[in-house]
Chains A and B, each alone.
Chain A
């Protein structure tokens, strides 16, 4: 530990010296503010659905009252994590147990981003962080009113509320590492269904 603390000291000392002698512009001492507002002609809703399609997601648009029926019919046996009463069943499970049990998982997302189809989920949406990744089929629900225009708006909403872990998910897991051919399901979800909730 002592050696590491010594390295810490050395690094900070070298940074200090570099900053003094390296001609780094002092005029930069004010943190620049980010004021970029994205420009778009289309509505956020349209951009969101277009982006999701591009990212390889399936989309359904439903009234809130129809959602339970839709899920139970289309994804029988899915683990619906909107119901927090079942969370205890999954807490603390080993990864292999989760892998066996969680083939299809439903999660309620918090923010949808129009410009890229990403949906924000965090520790408050699931009992185990591995669940959105271990599931072969992932279903994310997002309220129509939770769609923001761009990442600037998304991070403005997240900044103060970031929990222990959070992730933007945009489409199913992908790879193109073999000759640039796009394949879904490299490791995580092979498919992503997004349900946009109206009303």
Chain B
């Protein structure tokens, strides 16, 4: 098992591609800045969205009950899944009960989280991702590297080659419009013959049992309206009280995600189509454990806009796959360690942040992402997960810094050592600072020594 820093180092071996990745996502960040600045009450909207989500978390049981009642009245079938395994089985049961073979799916991070695609494939069910980016990575058998721009780690040459193999496009063709048209033809055939359409859910409205899905491509609607059976999959935290609250979130979501004033399609599914079925699967999978945690609960407010990735200077240079978790970047960093109840996983991720705090500032629901990263670091050390060496160094430093005399002596020793020890020893592999950086020049006197001689008033 490699760590984030090793995977990041591997990604950084191609500096031109890193420059491209960094600059491309930075442009998305700047588009977001312009879109946000065009809304004068932007910061006020963030505050409202944050408070709304806090309210939702304070009354989840009530809102879910209301939602279930109204959705059922609308003719939907509501299912509950305690964990990923149960979620996958519920989906499979619906598919099997309909003898369905052709399944189309629009983007759902929840199905990624639960590993639905592989589960269904293992049970002989073919499921086709219909978002262009998702289809690309499905062809490559890769996870998404970004929650909004799933194939952002790939260049058009990569995709041209892939489509040549999979879709028979011309060898060497890389024009995005040409490649997109080829995918349109390929996926339209899948839509028209779909038996079941799956979607994620951006928002679920308690007061009328409606689920709302936002896409730019229109793939959720193409699938849902073509297939006789539609299945919407949501985590328990996707609920919001009323239609009017949608205004706050739809104003924030696309602007923050891609810099568009709204997604091309904001679809509201309330009743099944004539002679159709509408299923809603509501999933826990660790969310209630997070809800019980004062330190980490706020991450449940996330509306999956991806802005924290675009602004993150580490993400932009290490790539989404360096995180090794379904959801990369800053929000992934705070979700991953407690993603499985009772365990602590992805212990390398909290260190993969320079704590620059930009993520918390762009977050449309004001999750204190950097604060949670800081808390995770404390938790890891407290529970003994730092490496022995790291913990020992920290313990000794704590001891030294707490004792002024020891601090003075050890500081002097370091400065003397840096002067007399040969360069090849200082710049060994142990000193990761020195791999790509020089150490500072060593002064003869510390400030304290200078002050003792010259500093008094």
Contacts and interface: CB of A to CB of B under 8 A. Distances in A.
Interface of A: 3-5, 7-8, 10-12, 14-19, 21-26, 28-29, 31-32, 34, 36-40, 51, 54-55, 91-92, 95-96, 99, 113, 115-118, 128-130, 132-134, 150-152, 154-156, 158-159, 162-181, 183, 185-189
B222 interface: yes
B192 A178 contact: no
B217 A187 contact: yes
18 contacts: A15-B64, A15-B236, A15-B288, A19-B61, A25-B58, A34-B244, A36-B45, A95-B191, A96-B193, A116-B260, A151-B247, A155-B247, A162-B210, A168-B262, A173-B218, A178-B180, A185-B181, A186-B183
B247 A175 contact: no
Given A180-B149, A187-B187, A187-B217, A167 B265 contact: yes
Contacts of B258: 176
A28 B55 contact: yes
Query: Can you list the 7 inter-chain pairs with the closest CB atoms, starting with the nearest?
Result: A188-B218, A164-B271, A177-B133, A116-B261, A18-B292, A14-B288, A186-B217
B80 A7 contact: yes
B359 interface: no
B217 A31 contact: no
Contacts of A16: 61
A23 B295 CA distance: 10
Interface string B145-158: 00001111011100
B247 A162 contact: no
A15 B61 contact: yes
B310 to A, nearest CB: 11
B180 A183 contact: yes
Given A36-B48, A189-B218, A177 B149 contact: yes
A24 B264 CA distance: 36
Contacts, number: 268
B264 A187 contact: no
B41 A22 contact: no
A159 B261 contact: no
B274 A165 contact: no
Interface of B: 24, 27-28, 39-41, 44-45, 48, 51-52, 54-55, 57-61, 64-65, 74, 79-82, 86, 90, 130-133, 136, 149-152, 154-156, 159, 176-177, 179-181, 183-184, 187-188, 191-193, 208, 210, 216-219, 221-222, 224-226, 236, 241-248, 250-251, 258, 260-275, 282, 284, 288-289, 291-294, 297
A189 B216 CA distance: 11
Most chain A CB inside 10 Å of its own CB: which residue of B61, B64, B245, B293: B61
Given A22-B292, A133-B222, A173-B217, A150 B264 contact: no
Contacts of B224: 129
B54 A25 contact: yes
A83 B131 CA distance: 33
Contacts of B251: 38, 115, 150-151
Given A7-B86, A165-B271, A170-B260, 17 more contacts: A11-B288, A18-B288, A19-B291, A23-B294, A24-B297, A29-B58, A36-B248, A129-B224, A129-B273, A150-B251, A151-B247, A155-B244, A162-B270, A167-B267, A171-B264, A173-B218, A185-B181
A156 B57 contact: no
A185 to B, nearest CB: 6
B150 A177 contact: yes
